[in-house]
Amino acid sequence: NGTPPTGFSSEGFQNLQQAGPDGSGSESTVSITVVGASGDLAKKKIFPALFALYYEGCLPKHFTVFGYARSKMTDAELRDMVSLTLTCRIDQRENCSVKMEEFLKRCFYHAGQYDSEAHFADLDKKLKQHEGSRISNRLYYLSIPPNIFLDVVKCASLAASSGNGWTRVIVEKPFGRDAESSAALTRGLKQYLHEDQIFRIDHYLGKELVENLSVLRFSNLVFEPLWSRQYIRNVQIIFSEDFGTEGRGGYFDHYGIIRDIMQNHLLQIMALFAMETPTSLEAEDIRNEKVKVLRSMKPLQADDVVIGQYKSHTRGGVMYPGYTDDKTVPSNSLTPTFAAAALFINNARWDGVPFLMKAGKALHTKRAEIRVQFRHVPGNLYKGCFGTDLDRATNELVIRVQPDEAIYLKINNKIPGLGMRLDRSNLNLHYAARYSKEIPDAYERLLLDAIEGERRLFIRSDELDAAWGLFTPLLKELEERHIAPELYPYGSRGPVGAHYLAAKYNVRWG
Ligand code: NDP
Ligand code: BG6
């Protein structure tokens, strides 16, 4: 409603270097505070991504990184902790220990409570010492459980926001558990922040092949004309992990796989995949198109969803524990660790095309991919030349997001020789073979974007509302009716129900 929130100022400086009043060019500085620095995500992803950006020369000249959490730690202890997870992955051959030392010298720690303005005021003092007379830009990364997001935003905004530059906040998922709690979180954040200061992260949007989706579609004449119900039979968006919720059972049991993976990562991929051509590559133009897709989706029916939960399984003499064997998970938990769903977009482009999503933990393989199955060739002249499996006659485009990034198109081809026999071969763009440079981690791209004020890969509040609008009724129904997940053995292909769901729409999972 245009009412300025209390606290953080978003005014001012988008650029990292600003001209001073005398025109001499007063420099700016970026202070990055990782809130929850003692935690898993900070160690595993955020500090390593910041180091990689530093190593690549992508961070501004003047920056500092502060860890903030309740655990008592000195600067030296933080550096020791962080150094264990920094890697020289960009160029294994180069000795990057010098760079690592330089980076670690820029890392500091401040212990404090998450709901204490006084503790954030102490942090503010330390930040100011480093910022000096420069324009101060501040980035807070909330790498903490969601129930304390608002405490932190309030205290940081009142006691430690920038006085003369920008202040931005990266918020980690989960953004609520349903439409109501998500809206309440957004309302809470907006008491202290403008929407353009909130960077809701979905790290799948920072993955190279997800970012490439629009390039593939909109810069290649051959794909876009085929990108509709006229030629596409179904689209599959698949996420699978070959390990369970190990160590995160407590968190996971409160959310489940639909909230953990489908409502955000897979739905975002789907929106990017299905959106109309944006007016430009500007963040708002892209997000406008994505939100239209989300709002055009047919309400999700419970009978278009299959849920599962992994159970223990012994293989090769090794016992793999079931989900409820985790001590932090109630033994009677009905939380799904697997889900498959059939979704539909009610618009002219996609009417009737099933978008099948599948997400699961403790499956037989680790992969994330998009599979586009095209329609049969009408009046296929070569039908008899494939052997018995007619399905082989259709084209399939596979975008393998991870691991071993690749884009390949399955085409029908004549097997060389005197006869006329066809098989299906791949036109294969294998990233490791084509590009020698290592692909940056999603967190690197997203952190850099947040520092640069680029919002394209972050989730806007209306997108979030639409995403929850789609999944909340289903989640409520599953929970109210106590629908029991189908059990599947650890390391298997998941519940057979997923195959029946696909078969209902004449689809075979890729
Ligand atoms: P952690 O559980 O490791 O928590 C981070 C830090 O927050 C802890 O070190 C602890 O610091 C503090 N903390 C933990 N529980 C509480 C509590 N109940 N009350 C107050 N403070 C608490 O979380 P992660 O690092 O795993 O994740 C951080 C955020 O990122 C979460 O929102 C998570 O959902 C999200 N996320 C995590 C992923 C991962 O792979 N770990 C992946 C994607 C998203 P201290 O005690 O020192 O204050
Ligand atoms: C997170 C989920 O968002 O994504 C985790 O909370 C999941 O459960 C992770 O393991 C997967 O991310 P990636 O990048 O390893 O595929």
| Nearest residue to 306 via CA among 331, 335, 336, 334 | 336
Q: Name the catalytic one among 265, 313, 364, 430.
A: 265
Q: Please give the distance, rounded to the nearest whole angstrom, from the Cα atom of residue 260 to the centre of ligand 2.
A: 8
Cβ of 441 below 6 Å from ligand 2: no
Q: Please state, in angstroms and as integers, the Cα–Cα distance from residue 326 to each residue in 247, 249, 489, following that order.
A: 8, 7, 15
Helix (H, G, I), strand (E, B) or coil at 475: helix
Report the nearest atom of ligand 2 relative to the CA of 252.
Answer: 8
Helices and strands (DSSP H and E) totals, the chain: 15, 18
Beta strands in 164-297 (DSSP E): 167-171, 198-201, 232-240
Site to substitute for ligand 1 among 35, 40, 169, most atoms within 8 A of C-beta:
40
- pLDDT at 144 exceeding the cut of 50: yes
Cβ of 309 below 6 Å from ligand 1: no
Mean pLDDT of 10-26: 41
More confident residue, 447 or 89: 447
Cβ of 369 below 6 Å from ligand 2: no
Cβ of 71 below 6 Å from ligand 1: yes
Give the number of the ligand closest to the Cα of residue 443: 2
Give the number of the ligand closest to the Cα of residue 247: 1
Report the distance separating Cα 493 and Cα 508, nearest Å: 13
28 touches 136 (CB < 8 A): yes
Q: Check residue 247 and give its pLDDT.
A: 78
Q: Please, what is the Cα angle at 405 between 404 and 410, to 5 degrees?
A: 105
Cβ of 41 below 6 Å from ligand 1: yes
Report the nearest atom of ligand 1 relative to the CA of 40.
Answer: 25
pTM across the whole model: 0.93
- pLDDT at 349 exceeding the cut of 80: yes
Cβ of 268 below 6 Å from ligand 1: no
Mean pLDDT of 352-375: 98
Residues paired with residue 201 on neighbouring β-strands, in sequence order: 458
Structure tokens at 149: 């997001």
Sheet holding 396-402, edge to edge: 422-430, 406-414, 396-402, 367-374, 232-240, 355-360, 338-343, 305-311, 486-489
Cβ of 245 below 6 Å from ligand 1: no
Give the number of the ligand closest to the Cα of residue 264: 2
Report the nearest atom of ligand 1 relative to the CA of 70.
Answer: 48
Helix (H, G, I), strand (E, B) or coil at 382: coil
CA-nearest residue for atom 10, ligand 2, is: 241
- pLDDT at 501 exceeding the cut of 60: yes
Give the number of the ligand closest to the Cα of residue 369: 2
Element (H, E) at 53: helix 47-55
- pLDDT at 29 exceeding the cut of 70: yes
CA-nearest residue for atom 15, ligand 2, is: 241
Report the nearest atom of ligand 1 relative to the CA of 36.
Answer: 6
* Amino acid at residue number 472: T
Cβ of 144 below 6 Å from ligand 1: yes
Report the distance separating Cα 324 and Cα 473, nearest Å: 26
- pLDDT at 270 exceeding the cut of 90: yes
Q: Please give the distance, rounded to the nearest whole angstrom, from the Cα atom of residue 188 to the centre of ligand 1.
A: 20
Catalytic, 376? Answer: no
Mean pLDDT of 264-282: 97
Element (H, E) at 429: strand 422-430
Among 9-13, 132-136, 413-417, name the one with the lowest average pLDDT.
9-13
Q: Give the model's confidence band at 469: pLDDT under 50 very low, under 70 low, under 90 confident, else very high.
A: very high
125 touches 20 (CB < 8 A): no
Give percent of the chain with pLDDT exceeding 70.
Answer: 93
Which residues neighbour 113 within 8 Å (Cβ) at sequence distance 6 or greater?
70, 119
Token pair 């060019």: residue: 25
Cβ of 36 below 6 Å from ligand 1: yes
pLDDT, tens digit, for every residue of 64-91? 999 999 999 999 999 999 999 888 765 5
CA-nearest residue for atom 4, ligand 2, is: 261
399 touches 270 (CB < 8 A): no
Helix (H, G, I), strand (E, B) or coil at 173: coil
Structure tokens at 372: 């586009």
Q: Check residue 10 and give its pLDDT.
A: 46
Q: Please give the distance, rounded to the nearest whole angstrom, from the Cα atom of residue 39 to the centre of ligand 1.
A: 5
Question: Mean pLDDT, the chain, as a whole number?
Answer: 91
Q: What are phi and psi of 435, to 5 degrees?
A: -120, 125
Report the distance separating Cα 89 and Cα 117, nearest Å: 39
ipTM for the whole complex: 0.97
Q: Give the model's confidence band at 390: pLDDT under 50 very low, under 70 low, under 90 confident, else very high.
A: low
Report the distance separating Cα 276 and Cα 286, nearest Å: 9
Q: Please give the distance, rounded to the nearest whole angstrom, from the Cα atom of residue 361 to the centre of ligand 2.
A: 10
Q: Please give the distance, rounded to the nearest whole angstrom, from the Cα atom of residue 241 to the centre of ligand 2.
A: 9
Cβ of 260 below 6 Å from ligand 2: yes
| Nearest residue to 284 via CA among 459, 451, 470 | 459
